[in-house]
Amino acid sequence: MKEEWVKYGTKLKLREIKELLDHLPRSSSVAIISVDQLQKELFTDSGAGTLVRRGYKLFRSSSIQDIGAERLRAMLREHDDDVRENRKSASQIFSELSQTPYTVYGDEGLGCVAFVSHPPDEVPVLTRLVMTRDAAMNHVIDNIWGMIRKDYRRLVWTSRADDENRAWHFEHADGSFTRNRRSLYYYGIQDVGEVERTMRQLEEKGRIERAYLPLNMRRVPSGTARGFCTYTHASTKLPQQGRESYTLGRRTYATTAEPKRVALIGARGYTGRSLVQLINAHPNLALSHVSSRELAGLPLDGYTKEQVYYANIGPEDLKKLESGRSSVAPPDAYIMALPNGVCRPFVDAVREGGKGKAQGHGVIVDLSADHRFDDAWTYGLPGAFATASQLYSREAIQQSKLISNPGCYATNTQMLLAPLLPYLDATRPPTVMGVSGYSGAGTKSSGKPSTPGERPVTLPKLDPETLHGAVRPYALTDHIHEREARYHLTKLANGTPVNVAFTPIVAPWFQGIISTASVPLSTKLTAREIKQLFEEKYQGEKLVEILPHVPEITDIALKHGFKAGGFQVHSSGERVVIVGVIDNLLKGAATQCMQNLNLALGLDEFAGIPMD
C-alpha cells in the first residue's frame, strides 16, 4: 500500500478486497478481469487477469516449543510420510533435530514446515520439508524457500525419487543424485570437488542417511573430476575420455546445473503459449529461441527465466544454427509448432545442419500432422500402448530424434479404443463424436498494428460470439485425426484393419475435448469387465485417471492428463459407450510434447508437468 502507484481508486479497491478476503475462507480469491475474457480467465490464475489472494504470514524460529510442539506433532502425523507410515515418530524427528543448531521455517497455519540443521562451519541440511496440498498450490512453499535461500548460500536436502513434488526439487537444485529410488539435491556448491568433499563430510558425521549418498559408485581412476548425473535401472559401464568412469545405470533422466536448450518455432498460437508456460516452470529446460514472423523483435511474454525476444527464423537460419555456424550454440531440441504443411523445410534444415556432427542433429518434436504417417518418425504417445506393442513405448521415444506429436482428437480417440482392440467387431466400426473448445480451431492475427512497436493481438478463428452460443459440426468425414487414429490403431492391432467413424464438433467453451465412443463388441462384456480392461491397461500411468462417473469438461480443462468414465453397456451386451476427456492445448498438444521432449533428452518424463 506504500507503493507510489497505489493511490485514489486503486487504494480503495485494494482495501475493499482485503476486507472481503479477511472474512472469507483462506482458499478464496478475487479476480480482476476483462468482461469479454470472463469465460477464459475466471477459472485460472495463469491468465491475463489479476488474481488477489489473502497472504500467509511466515515465521522462522530456533525453538520447537515456541512454535508449539503439539501443533507441529499433529501436522507431521497428518502430512509427513515417515510419521504416517510409522518409520519415525514426531518425537524422534524433534530429538534428531535438537542434536545440532537448527531453524524451523513455516507459515502461521502450518501448511508448510521446513527444518534446517546448521552446525557452525558445516553445510546446512534441510532435514525435513512437509507441506499440505493447499500450501503447494498457493505457493506458500515458494515464499518459505525464498527465506531459506536468503539465510543459506549453500544447502543439501533429500527426498524419495517417487516424491510427487520431485519436479519442484529439481527446479530448485543446482544438481542432484538418484540412487536406489532416493534422491539428494543441493544448491550453491558449484565445484565438483567441493561437492564430493561435502558428501563425504555428510556421511562421516551421519547428517545424511547413507542410502541417499552416491559414494558407493565403483571408481575407475583417471586423475580427473567426477561428473554427476542421475541414473537408474540396469548397470552399464560408461567410459568417458579424459574423465573418471563409473558403473552406473541405464539413463532415464539426467540432472545438471546447465538446462537443456530448446528452440520453439512457431510460438504465437495457444499451444505455443502453453509450451512457454511449461518450459518456464521446467527445472531442466530453457528457451534459447522463439520464432514468430509477426512478433519478431518483441519480448516474449510469460517467460521469466531470462529475457527472450521473438525472431523471424527461417529454414536457412535453422540450418546455420544447427551446424554451429551461428553466433550462439545450437539448441538441444526443436519444437515445431507450425501449421500443417509448413513444417518440412524447417525439419530438413535442421537435419541438413546436423550432418557431419558426431551426435547428429538435435531432437525434433513436430506438433503438426506432417509426419504422423511417416514410419521414419516415432509416434509420441508415451506409455499408452507399451503393453500392446513396442511401437510407441517410452524406450522408442528415448532413442529417437524425430518425434511426431499426436493430434488432440486422435489422442483421445486412441486412448478410448486401445484397451478394447482385441474385442472390436470388425464388421461394425466404432463411432466417436468429439466436442472441442474453440481454441482447437486455431488463431489468427489482428493484423499489423497502427502504432509502431505495438504488439499484434492473437485472436481465435472462432469464438462464442461467432458460434452464437451453440455447437458446430465440421469436417464430417475424413477428418485427418480420423485417419490418424485408424492408421495407428491398425498398426497396434498387428495389421488387422481398425476403422473408426469420427465427427468433430466445435463448442463455445475455450479449451477441453470431450469424446463419446460407441463401440460394437465381438464378445459380450459387462461394464465391470470393460472398466477393468481400462484399469489394467493404464495401471501406473500418472496422467491417466479412470473415473467412476461420466467425465465432464470441468474435470479436464487446464489439467494435463486423460480421464475416462461412463462404461455403459447396451442391454444386448454387444456395444459399449465410453466417454473420455483431455485438454486439447495440454495433453492434446503441449503436455504431450513435454513428455516426448523429456524422454528424448534423457530427463524425467514428467518434469515440468504439474500433477493434477
Give the residue from 212, 205, 210, 213 showing the smallest Cα distance to 99. 205
Whole-angstrom distance, CA of residue 114 vs CA of residue 505: 49
Q: Are residues 447 and 473 in the same domain?
A: yes
What's 103's domain CATH number?
3.40.630.30
Q: Kindly report which listed range (17-21, 77-81, 102-106, 446-450) carries the lowest average pLDDT score.
A: 446-450
- Amino acid at residue number 227: G
Task: Please enumerate in sequence order all residues whose Cβ is within 8 A of that of 310, keeping only pairs 6 or more positions apart, or say none.
Answer: 267, 290, 291, 292, 295, 296, 297, 298, 299, 300
Q: Are residues 436 and 396 in the same domain?
A: no
CA 228-233-234 angle, to 5 degrees, is 105
CA-CA-CA-CA torsion for 485, 490, 494, 496, nearest 10 degrees?
150
Identify whether 610 is part of a domain.
no
Q: 162-207, pLDDT tens digit by residue? A: 777 777 888 888 888 776 667 888 998 877 777 878 888 888 888 8
Q: Are residues 76 and 41 in the same domain?
A: no
What's 482's domain CATH number?
3.30.360.10
* Whole-Å CA distances, 4 to 7, 32, 49, 145, 282: 7, 21, 22, 28, 34
Q: Are residues 568 and 478 in the same domain?
A: yes
Indicate the SS3 state at residue 66: helix
pLDDT at 50: 64
Identify whether 512 is part of a domain.
yes
What are the grid coordinates assigned to 533, written together? Answer: 480392461
Q: Is the dihedral of CA 362, 367, 371, 375 positive or negative?
A: positive
Does 257 have pLDDT greater than 70? Answer: no
The residue from 152, 184, 211 where one domain ends is: 211
pLDDT at 104: 95
Percent of the chain's residues with pLDDT above 90: 53
Indicate the SS3 state at residue 39: helix
Task: Please enumerate in sequence order all residues whose Cβ is within 8 A of that of 120, keeping only pairs 6 or more positions apart, or say none.
Answer: 101
Q: Are residues 391 and 420 in the same domain?
A: no
Identify whether 361 is part of a domain.
yes
Residue-number span of the structural domain to which 447 is assigned: 408-586
Does 391 have pLDDT greater than 70? Answer: no
Does 275 have pLDDT greater than 90? Answer: yes
Q: Tell me if 157 sits within 8 A of 125, measured CB to CB.
A: yes
Q: Are residues 187 and 140 in the same domain?
A: yes
On whether the pTM is more than 0.85, the answer is no
Q: Are residues 425 and 379 in the same domain?
A: no
Q: Are residues 72 and 41 in the same domain?
A: no
Q: Are residues 14 and 64 in the same domain?
A: no
Whole-angstrom distance, CA of residue 322 vs CA of residue 316: 10
Whole-angstrom distance, CA of residue 244 vs CA of residue 262: 29
Cα Rg, the chain, nearest whole Å: 26
Give the residue from 388, 381, 375 showing the smallest Cα distance to 496. 388
User: What's the mean pLDDT when you consider all of the chain?
Assistant: 83
Q: Tell me if 119 sits within 8 A of 103, measured CB to CB.
A: no
Q: Tell me if 564 sits within 8 A of 551, measured CB to CB.
A: yes
pLDDT at 247: 29
How buried is residue 476: exposed, middle or buried, by Cβ count under 10 Å (0-12/13-18/19+)? exposed
Give the residue from 590, 549, 572, 544 showing the smallest Cα distance to 418. 544
Whole-angstrom distance, CA of residue 413 vs CA of residue 407: 10
pLDDT band at 214 (very low <50, low <70, confident <90, very high): low
Q: Are residues 13 and 137 in the same domain?
A: no
pLDDT at 141: 86
Max avg pLDDT among 52-61, 188-197, 324-333 = 324-333
CA 236-240-241 angle, to 5 degrees, is 155
Q: Kindly report which listed range (278-282, 425-429, 464-468) carries the lowest average pLDDT score.
A: 464-468
The residue from 148, 181, 211 where one domain ends is: 211
Q: Are residues 348 and 468 in the same domain?
A: no
- Amino acid at residue number 570: H
Residues paired with residue 431 on neighbouring β-strands, in sequence order? 501, 518
593 is catalytic: no
Q: Tell me if 288 sits within 8 A of 311, measured CB to CB.
A: no
What are the grid coordinates assigned to 308, written together? Answer: 527472450
Q: 594-607, pLDDT tens digit by residue? A: 999 999 999 999 99
Does 560 have pLDDT greater than 80? Answer: yes
Choosing from 112, 229, 343, 408, which is the catalytic residue? 408
Identify whether 48 is part of a domain.
yes
Identify whether 243 is part of a domain.
no
Whole-angstrom distance, CA of residue 167 vs CA of residue 607: 5
Q: Per the structure, how many domains does the chain have?
A: 4
Q: Kindly report which listed range (73-87, 359-373, 475-489) carries the lowest average pLDDT score.
A: 73-87
Does 398 have pLDDT greater than 70? Answer: yes
Q: Are residues 461 and 573 in the same domain?
A: yes
What's 301's domain CATH number?
3.40.50.720
Task: Please enumerate in sequence order all residues whose Cβ is within 8 A of that of 339, keeping only pairs 6 or more positions apart, or say none.
Answer: 266, 368, 442
Does 253 have pLDDT greater than 50? Answer: no
Residues paired with residue 384 on neighbouring β-strands, in sequence order? none
Give kind and range of the element (H or E) at residue 503: strand 501-507
The residue from 18, 36, 53 where one domain ends is: 53
Identify whether 239 is part of a domain.
no
pLDDT at 349: 96
Identify whether 317 is part of a domain.
yes
Identify whether 248 is part of a domain.
no
